[in-house]
Every structure is written in C-alpha cells, then in structure tokens.
C-alpha cells in the first residue's frame, strides 16, 4: 500500500513562480525523501529530511516536515522550464517494516516558459 | 562514480521467453532494490537485497526471480511473463538502509511483454 499521498496531482505554473507540493503519510518514519523523475526514466534524489528535523534547504528547494501531522512540503523557488517533471515523496518504515522506500502518488509539475 | 547502470534500456519479450535484467553499481553500496513502475503510477518495491542477502520479497510472483551475484551486481530473471507485467523496472542502491540514506536509481529498463 502507498505510504505517501501528494497533492496536487498536477500543477502548472509560469516560469519564475514558486511551486509547492504537499505530501502526507500514515506511519511513523525515520526519514522522508523527495525524488524527481523526468519523462518516466530514473528517479533523482533531491533531499532527505530526518524525523527530528523540521526544515531543510538545498539550493532552490525547501522541504518542511511536520511529524505531528504526518505531512511534508516541497517548495521550489524561482521555477525553471527544466523543473518540469514528476515529484515523489518517499518514506521508509520505522520499526522493522520493509526496508525499502514507499512512494506517494506524485505531483506532475509543468513549468510554462 | 555515482551511477547505477541498468541494461538493457528497452526489452520486448514474448510470454514464453526467458530474459534477464541487469543492474550494476560501483559505489560500495550494501543495499540494492528492484522496483516496478507502471505508467503514471509511483514505483512499487519488489525486492530488497541487503549485504547480498534477499531480505524482502514483497509477494512478487515467482515468474520474477532476483539474484545478487556480488555486492555490485543485481539481476532480475524473467520467465513466462504476462502482458500486464509490462512496465518500467528500476534498480536502486543505497549506502546502507534507506532508513538512514538516500537511494540512487538507474535509468530503468522499459519492458514490453507481447
């Protein structure tokens, strides 16, 4: 079963605007990760935030984590056409579950030039 | 070298064929994974190898058979597949468990079963 649920499922914005995607999950986690996927090829790791962290930055990316609400958000600032992709949140399973990532449904982001 | 290499990139096979997908990494990672991804869906975990031992089999049909010959290589043997098995098959590796580390993904093998 899927752990994460992203919203929106699709997002179209103008180049230069900020894009925000949200993710909710169900069980306790050790960390939450965000990945990008271009055109159905391999996934690229963007950022990992641990369960004891609340916010993390990497370049134009800002991720927040609220473990009390079991939710996370990914903000991409000053978007570029090259940011067009699908974005997935992924969680591990804390406490002895399957040792692999469980992915949310993803947000398909389109940046209009 | 931060790459996970998957071969072939594309594969078309009949339902009676036997084929293998290959995955290789030289980052010294101790965990390797197979995921299956259908169109417009998220990746779904199939197999996990940790220190060359199969630790998780997510109730995948026996027509999929994983093999980890050594810590750098991961194979997925395919036999008697069904058309609904057509998908993108992704290999990934991580330095240790994904409980503490990020995963690196290959570009995938796009499999079509005819």
pLDDT digits (tens, 9 = 90+) for A84-94: 999 999 998 65
Residue that is written with structure tokens 């010959």 in the block = B69
Which tokens is A7 given?
């919203």
Cα A75 to Cα A48, A70, A99, B40, B43, distances in angstroms: 14, 17, 27, 22, 22
Confidence of residue A8 (pLDDT cuts 50, 70, 90): confident
Which tokens is B102 given?
């990020």
Average pLDDT over residues B55-69: 90
pLDDT of residue A96: 53
Q: Are A88 and A37 in contact (CB under 8 A)?
A: yes
Q: Give CA–CA dist A87/B76, Å, rounded.
A: 26
Name which of B99, B107, B108 is nearest A30 (Cβ-Cβ).
B99
Cβ distance B33 to A42 less than 8 Å, yes or no, reads no
Q: Give CA–CA dist A47/A79, Å, rounded.
A: 17
pLDDT of residue A98: 53
- For the stretch B91-108, pLDDT in tens is 999 998 777 789 999 999
Residues near A25 by Cβ (< 8 Å), separated by ≥ 6? A3, A4, A5, A32, A70, A71, A72, A89, A91, A104
Closest residue, chain B, to A85 (C-alpha): B40
Cβ distance A99 to B44 less than 8 Å, yes or no, reads no
- For the stretch A27-86, pLDDT in tens is 888 899 999 999 878 999 999 999 999 999 999 999 999 999 999 999 999 999 999 999
Contacts B4 to A, Cβ<8 Å: 42
Q: Give CA–CA dist B104/B32, Å, rounded.
A: 9
Q: Are A99 and B98 in contact (CB under 8 A)?
A: yes
Q: Give CA–CA dist A64/A54, Å, rounded.
A: 6
Closest residue, chain B, to A38 (C-alpha): B107
Average pLDDT over residues A6-27: 93
């Amino acid at each position: 079963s899927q752990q994460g649920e992203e919203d929106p499922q699709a997002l179209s914005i103008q180049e230069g605007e900020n894009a925000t995607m949200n993710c909710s999950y169900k069980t306790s986690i050790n960390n939450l990760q965000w990945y990008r996927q271009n055109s159905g090829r391999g996934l690229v790791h963007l950022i990992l935030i641990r369960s004891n962290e609340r916010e993390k930055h990497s370049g134009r990316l800002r991720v927040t984590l609220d473990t009390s609400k079991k939710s996370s958000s990914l903000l991409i600032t000053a978007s570029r056409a090259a940011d067009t992709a699908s974005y997935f949140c992924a969680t591990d399973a804390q406490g002895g579950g399957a040792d692999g990532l469980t992915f949310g449904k993803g947000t398909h982001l389109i940046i209009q030039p | 070298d931060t790459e996970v290499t998957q071969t072939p990139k594309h594969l078309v096979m009949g339902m009676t064929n036997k084929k293998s997908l290959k995955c290789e990494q030289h980052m010294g990672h101790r965990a390797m994974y197979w995921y299956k991804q259908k169109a417009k869906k998220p990746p779904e975990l199939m197999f996990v190898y940790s220190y060359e031992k199969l630790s998780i089999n997510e109730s995948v049909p026996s027509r999929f058979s994983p093999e980890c010959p050594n810590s750098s290589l991961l194979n997925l043997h395919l036999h008697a597949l069904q058309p609904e098995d057509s998908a993108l098959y992704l290999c990934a590796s991580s330095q240790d468990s994904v409980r503490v580390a990020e995963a690196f993904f290959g570009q995938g093998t796009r499999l079509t079963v005819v």
